[in-house]
Structure 1
Amino acid sequence: MENSRRLISLRALLRQTAALAAAVLLTGCETLSYYAQAVGGQISLMARAQPLETVIADAATTADLRVRLELARSIRDYASRELMLPDNGSYRSYADLERPYVVWNVVAAPEFSLSPVESCFPVAGCVPYRGFFAREDAERYAQGLRIAGNDVELRGVPAYSTLGRFDDPLLSTFIRFPDVELARLIFHELAHQLLYVKGDATFNESFAVAVERSGVRRWLAATGRSSALQLFFDAQDQNRRFFEELERSRARLRSIYATQLPPEAMRERKRAELAALKQALSSNPRFRSLEPNNALLASYATYTQLVPAFEKLLEEEGGDLGKFYSRVKALSASEPSSRGPLSAPIP
């Protein structure tokens, strides 16, 4: 029966990827090459997925992995039961990828702009990044963007969502994350399946972050992890200060880029601002390794700019997730500039 389900899943995957390939046959060679690696990577990932029950029961599964899978299963059940997130086959299977990340994302922004370069796709719409299953492909693409004069950030990513089109598996790239991070990631990715607005990355990511934060708080409280809950609050406070520092730097850079200064003078002021930001971040070991540039600032803004507005909406609904989801879905149907507190922010 399990093998039959896997066969059906793979057949569905092949049908959908074949349809996707047909949709881009009239595009350029570079686009075809990109889709080929994306389709191949997704097929390879799904082919590795095995039902959780199979992996947990397998005598070859190590004790520590079995514990992580059982925890992930309980988190997954909690997500649908208590957070009203989609109840489907996602995160009910496991795939060992034998690599540190599932994909490598490339984010780019022009030298004097905080607006990220977008890539547009049939399903996701336009997004401020491009993902690759092979690091060397990501590095090649990133180098081309650098040569064109852009600021670039290349980052390994442990998970991504197929937005409910496939049953996303738990992956070896994140299964050994600390408990809170594992829960956060599962809640975040399932939130994308609940609501995704094509071509509006800031709305989508900020919504998912708001859901993950509320979800983690509820899950920790429900499982009696009071000490972990306090640590989570402390970490959130630290993150808030970090994001505020980034936003202040973004505001200063935005002012610099709006001037009529000659390029070299603007470049010098930009260097000074980024050096000051690097110094400010160096006091925290978590952020010390970051190399600030326009791409990094654009990337973090995508995930944070609307989070306070989403959290305020949830508070206005008395913490009722059902009412919150309904209100957000109603707002998402409006034009990005007409969503009230959730209107598109300044890049």
Structure 2
Amino acid sequence: MSLWHRVGVGRRRLALGVAAVLLAGCASTDAGLGYYWQSVTGHWQLMRSARPVADWLADEHTPPALRQKLATARDIRRFAVTQLALPDNRSYTRYADLGRRAAVFNVVAAPALSLQLWQWCFPVAGCVGYRGYYDEAAAQAFAASLPADMDVAVYPVQAYSTLGWLDWFGGDPLLNTFIGYPDGELARLVFHELAHQVVYVAGDMAFNESFATAVERLGGERWLSREASPATRAAYEQFDRRRQAFRALTLHTLEQLAAVYAHSALSESGQRARKADVMAEFRRRYGALKAAWGGYAGYDAWVAQANNALFGAQAAYDQWVPAFEALFAREGSDFARFYAAAKALAAEPAAQRQAALQALMPALSAEQPDRDGAAPR
């Protein structure tokens, strides 16, 4: 099972750039018609492959394991509406087998001595720090065309959101690329993607992804406590312990890299040397984690590519999560009230929005430490 999405840069979550392209019109400052065409045709083929979950469940040829997963996904979708106040529409009521390992492949890039992601801009979704392709070879070719002195990465994305704008065409489907996730993780993924349909601020990736990540965590906890069997909870806890340990390691490395790049007294060569030391330590510590996990290799692909671009993308998912969790607590742990408060924040100018989120951060750190050990999704 691919864990890119669960590290934080594979989702559900960064492929909103695809939605941006689908809805952008005919031109942007960063993409030509060929890029739009691959995005439109790629999504069209994905949608054409989808059939209602009810049809799959009624089909005697549906494999038993898939049948069970689809039934669970149907129940998760219902829970999202009745218990989490998430949109009641056609998204995740259909299923498609794409015959490949990812829905899209995202390209991210950052300078060699910075965690600031290169931005690509689209008329509807604003500027985002990634660019998505349905064809992996096309993504690799675009990555290779970027300046040689940039840190660049290409990673698979198991799911993405079109923000509810294409519900008339069936909404976003369940996919073979993530249907096999542990039930608790499947629930979190669906909740995250539906959260993007609740609130979305053009050009503010950190706000959008942090909000959706908070919803997935809060909703996932509620689903596990109310709907999951003891065996499902136990399996998920084992899965999540590894993720939290890896999250802690990547956050620590992210902070070390940020400190290196902010060290004005260091020369460029000095910063590059310190960066190399930090990355060597990151890989050494990951090797120790992997050994403690009995050789579990779920994060190997992420570690193999780890660079400023991947760490910068990770930061967008985590930056404001504690603030949103504090906002949820302030609103009485009521999802509808929480969404209304998040929408009010989204309507503020960027500076006021960030100031309000920053003001929420100390309340959580003082009263309720980050449940995930401040670590990657």
Whether TM-score is above 0.5 comes out as yes
Q: 2:176: which partner in 1?
A: 172
Match of 2:331 among 307, 311, 317: 317
Match of 2:274 among 259, 269, 275: 269
**Equivalent residues in 2 for 1:117-156, closer than 5 Å:** 117-145=118-146, 147-156=147-156
Q: 2:24–2:124: 8 Å Cα contact kept in structure 1?
A: no
183-192 or 50-59, larger mean C-alpha shift: 50-59
Question: How far is 1:284 from its partner?
Answer: 2.3
Q: 1:157: which partner in 2?
A: 157
Q: Does 1:98 align with 2:99?
A: yes
1:187 counterpart SS class:
helix
Q: 1:211: which partner in 2?
A: 215
* Alpha-carbon distance change, 233 to 22 in structure 1, aligned in 2, over 3 angstroms: closer
Question: How far is 1:27 from its partner?
Answer: 6.5
Larger Rg belongs to: 1
- Looking at structure 1, the residues matched to 109 and 35 of structure 2 have their Cα atoms a distance apart, in angstroms, of 17
Question: How far is 1:321 from its partner?
Answer: 1.0
Q: 1:49: which partner in 2?
A: 50
- Looking at structure 2, the residues matched to 76 and 276 of structure 1 have their Cα atoms a distance apart, in angstroms, of 42
* Alpha-carbon distance change, 241 to 18 in structure 1, aligned in 2, over 3 angstroms: closer
Which runs of 5 or more structure 1 residues have no equivalent in the other structure?
Answer: 1-15
2:288 counterpart SS class:
coil
**Equivalent residues in 2 for 1:237-256, closer than 5 Å:** 239-256=243-260
2:132 counterpart SS class:
strand
Q: Among the aligned pairs, what percent are the same residue?
A: 43
1:192 counterpart SS class:
helix
The number of residue pairs the alignment matches comes to 327
Q: 2:14: which partner in 1?
A: none
Q: 1:337–1:343: 8 Å Cα contact kept in structure 2?
A: no
Give the TM-score of the pair, scaled to structure 1: 0.86
Q: 2:357: which partner in 1?
A: 342
Q: 1:183: which partner in 2?
A: 187
Q: 1:10: which partner in 2?
A: none
- Looking at structure 2, the residues matched to 138 and 42 of structure 1 have their Cα atoms a distance apart, in angstroms, of 15
Q: 1:295: which partner in 2?
A: 309
Q: Does 1:307 align with 2:321?
A: yes
Deviations 1:76-107 (A, max 9, x none): 11101110000001011111111111101111
Give the TM-score of the pair, scaled to structure 2: 0.80
Q: 1:282–1:288: 8 Å Cα contact kept in structure 2?
A: no
Q: 1:282: which partner in 2?
A: 287
Q: Does 1:80 align with 2:85?
A: no
Match of 1:328 among 333, 339, 342: 342
- Looking at structure 2, the residues matched to 302 and 69 of structure 1 have their Cα atoms a distance apart, in angstroms, of 31
- Looking at structure 2, the residues matched to 17 and 130 of structure 1 have their Cα atoms a distance apart, in angstroms, of 10
- Looking at structure 2, the residues matched to 126 and 39 of structure 1 have their Cα atoms a distance apart, in angstroms, of 19
Give 1:256's aligned amino acid.
V
- Looking at structure 1, the residues matched to 321 and 195 of structure 2 have their Cα atoms a distance apart, in angstroms, of 14
* Alpha-carbon distance change, 251 to 174 in structure 1, aligned in 2, over 3 angstroms: closer
* Alpha-carbon distance change, 279 to 341 in structure 1, aligned in 2, over 3 angstroms: farther
* Alpha-carbon distance change, 18 to 105 in structure 1, aligned in 2, over 3 angstroms: closer
* Alpha-carbon distance change, 338 to 81 in structure 1, aligned in 2, over 3 angstroms: same
Q: 1:112: which partner in 2?
A: 113
Give 1:267's aligned amino acid.
R
